[in-house]
Chain A
Amino acid sequence: MASFALRAGFTQRRLALLLASTLILPAIVRAQKPPMVDVGVVLPKDVITGETVSGSVIVNPSDYANIPGLHVVTGQVPGVAGSTLANLLSNYSLQIGSGAAAPADHPFSFTVTNELPIRIFRTGGAITDGWSTTIPLSPTNGQSFPAPKSFSMPPLNLAGALQRIHGPFSGDGHRTVIRVNNLPARLLVESPRGAYCFLPADLKPGAADWTITDEQRSVRLRSWVLALQMSADKLKLMKGESTAFHVVIKGVETIPQEAWFGSGDVPDFVDPALIRKFLPDFKPPSPSQPGVLVLTLENMSVGTVVMSGGNKVALTFGYGQGKYEHHGTITATRAGSFDIDGTLIPFLHDQPELVDNTVSGGNNNDNVGNPPVYRPSPTPTPVAVTNEKKKKEEDCPQRGKGCVALVIDFSHNVTWEFDMESLSKKLTAAGCDTDYVAPDLVEIPLPQTYGYEGVASYTTKPDPKDQDAARAHNDPEWKKVRDAVAKHQEKVAKGVELAIEIVNGHGGPKASSEILACGDWEWKEYTGDYLYRARFHEGNYRAANKNVCGWFTSDFSCYGGLTPKVVDELENLTTATCSQASAVACPNHAGWEADSSTSTATNTQTCSNGSIGWQKSYIGDPLDAEIDRRKAGSASSYSGLIDALRTKAGESSTSRYADHGYAKDKPPAHTHGGYDQP
């Protein structure tokens, strides 16, 4: 599995990693001795004694240093006046041992022994005017490198970038011809197990048809070329000034649905630490799960600007989204320019050889006969199974594992407010393992002024002992809430058919700080602590993601529309910022069958006491029906309740998000309303 990392800074766009060879070296025009230039020898790592393998001399060795399949040895040669990095090596030759000299800008082949003596010298010049080294090799007996029987390659590429191809190559790069959309691809290294080559730099985003000819064999593969474009309306900002920035991924829409399955692995080129940094709980989708593209954005100018959504943002894209874009805002905390790095990481399975005549463009013009082709397919097409087994396999993996619910009720025993005790009882009656948490909170007294006309007003002075006592009373009550949340998430993560969370209380609006990105819940007065929506729902999503058939959340509080909004984000973008526009990325949905979220308020307004009272019925009615079904013995699963909560959520509540799950959202059908879009 390969990947690519495109890092773009707005002050100076740059293609990092493997595209640096296209950068122009400042002209070496000094009349004096030209400066030394870093070069390197790149070899495949999987070398076996006696085999033929191929390597290359390159001018930017540091770009290859972290690629797992490559062995890079660095040195220096004198620069050449008037040359650039791109054509420097055309002035040099290379010699393997005492063999014949060959152009240094072409791959070289050799038979593997314990070492590789190589000399690089100026063509037509003194053989000592260059660099020579003996590269120690650590060849194995071959048992560590199983030989592939067919060709395969990662599905996505960037024009001009390096591409890995698995396959039974000869190892001799002189015999290998690789063409992409009928354009030649430059070979870097080759072994009998695979090769690395550069895609043509001028490929357009879209499908790319490959023809690989090696000795007497020719095979065809298909991949898709993407382009990651990053731009900002302004590149320099004054303090306090904001500008919009835009990230557009081109070519994704051409990837067919059958290519959108995972591989179960982190791509070769990607440091797993990068994934953990942005998405700590992310698991690469398996071959039977929908694949995703992860776009990470990092603010590299933290002292100068802030980026909407936070300084590290991870966005996930899946099949069927109308647009593969992200638009945000950058605000300067002090005057200056800035850098935002973007990296696109595909979690898709490798593409196998094509076994029919589906290659388009008539590019297979290498006039080489096609031998019989081995055709194992890593595509996740299910194998033939019996109808019953197939039906079972096609059902939700958590079917029959019950329902768990968490009800956090800040309004229990609070005069004038509606509580959730009755709803909690209904959940229990419907068979849900329900944790009902109603913290017994008290106000922490703070100074309060009262005024009487004609009399000096007076301000109360709370006794610090009373304040401490109130805090001491509240702390364990808040702990009960947090413990219940942790316990609930633990239960959900083990796999349940239906996970439900309901919160009732006083809701706060979103604010600029990260912790308050989606607001909070609290008691009616100051108690010293809060429950934060973004954290709460993000934790629940992580627990539920691919571990449930259905996930339902409901928020009975002011500004509660922030709950369906953040669920919408988590379900499609996997992050909780309450600042992103709705997107459709069904592989990110938590539940197999349906996920939904409701609230009694919009995301920008308060709601009435009464609405909390009567909107309870939107959950209560489906629960009553489920209770009846269970009494009648006609409920073998929670599918009916999951569907009822989804439809009720989609139709009735003041704000709502409802969709089918990751397995059922075909075609994608998301219902949402009651919360605004940025």
Chain B
Amino acid sequence: MKKTINPTKLKAAVLLLCATTLLFAISHAQQKKLPPDYEKKRAAISNFEAGVVPLFVLGDLNEDGLVDQEDLKLLRVYVSHPSSAGISCLAAADLDDNGSINAHDIAVLEGILSKGAVKAPALSAHARLGCDFKHFFIAALPQGRAGTAVPIHFLDPRFNPQNSTATIFTGPATVVSNQGAFLVQVAKSAPAGAIVTVSLTLADKQRYFYSFRVAPAPGLL
């Protein structure tokens, strides 16, 4: 008996397998919102303090380094027809930080862009909606308790505390350079809920603002 292989069926089977694999990958990525090269990136931050996470540029949906009209366009498309096409950092679209993306986020971004080009965008640690972290360049703790330090680490070897600067823009804190990182020391008297904003200027002269909240103290709920 002669055994033949039906090319059409084989192609269908391969496509089905690819589709299943893709679905599983998407499902897995959505479940844990893991960025590409996750293990490599996790290894890069593994020597930092536990809890330190990479930061992303808020409003920079396509991670091209700019917060501009292109991001606004992507955001409008996403809100009208949810699709992540062209968006590599969905978390960056959640400008009002409420865990969902809607017309209010569009209004916030429109308000920002209406004042002109954004020269010093904001950094955020709240990546719960997912982000590829194409710009994997800086990491920090998402919050700090009064009397503790919030470290800001460089992930891009081009930057270090010697060629970059960090200053307290607002909030009850001071900042020092320490072992290749900046340490933002939150004042012992800082009230829970206070916001500390750090102004960062990197070696390439790009400026960012990173804001974090003084965490409520346990036992005082």
Contact = CB atoms under 8 A, between A and B. Distances in A.
Given A447-B193, A466-B99, A508 B213 contact: no
A609 B48 contact: yes
A466 B96 CA distance: 12
B76 interface: no
Contact of A448 (B46, B97, B145, B216): B97
B211 interface: yes
Nearest to B220: A513
B128 interface: yes
Nearest to B151: A606
Nearest to A504: B50
B47 A610 contact: yes
Contacts of A454: 115-120
Interface residues on A, range: 35 or more
A530 B219 CA distance: 8
Nearest to B48: A608
Contacts of B143: 525-526
B218 interface: yes
Interface string A403-417: 000000000010111
A532 B98 contact: no
B58 interface: yes
B83 interface: no
Interface in B105-163: 108, 111-112, 115-122, 124, 126-128, 142-143, 145, 148
Contacts of B73: none
Interface stretch (B9-17, B19-27, B28-36): B28-36
A326 interface: no
B51 interface: yes
B46 A609 contact: yes
Which of A448, A460, A461 has its CB near the most chain B CB atoms (within 10 A)?
Answer: A448
A157 to B, nearest CB: 44
B74 interface: no
A610 B39 CA distance: 12
A543 B118 CA distance: 59
A443 B46 CA distance: 23
A374 interface: no
A450 B207 contact: no
Interface stretch (A95-103, A192-200, A488-496, A515-523): A515-523
B169 interface: yes
B66 interface: no
B221 interface: yes
A415 B32 contact: yes
Contacts of B118: 452-455
Nearest to A600: B50
A457 B115 CA distance: 12
Interface of A: 413, 415-417, 442-443, 445-463, 466, 506, 508-509, 511, 513, 515-516, 520, 522, 524-526, 528-530, 532, 557-558, 601, 606-613
Interface of B: 31-34, 38, 42-43, 45-54, 58, 67, 95-99, 108, 111-112, 115-122, 124, 126-128, 142-143, 145, 148, 169-170, 193, 195, 197, 207, 209, 211, 213, 215-219, 221
Rank and list the top 5 A-B pairs by shortest CB-CB distance, nearest first. Answer: A610-B46, A453-B120, A450-B122, A530-B218, A451-B209
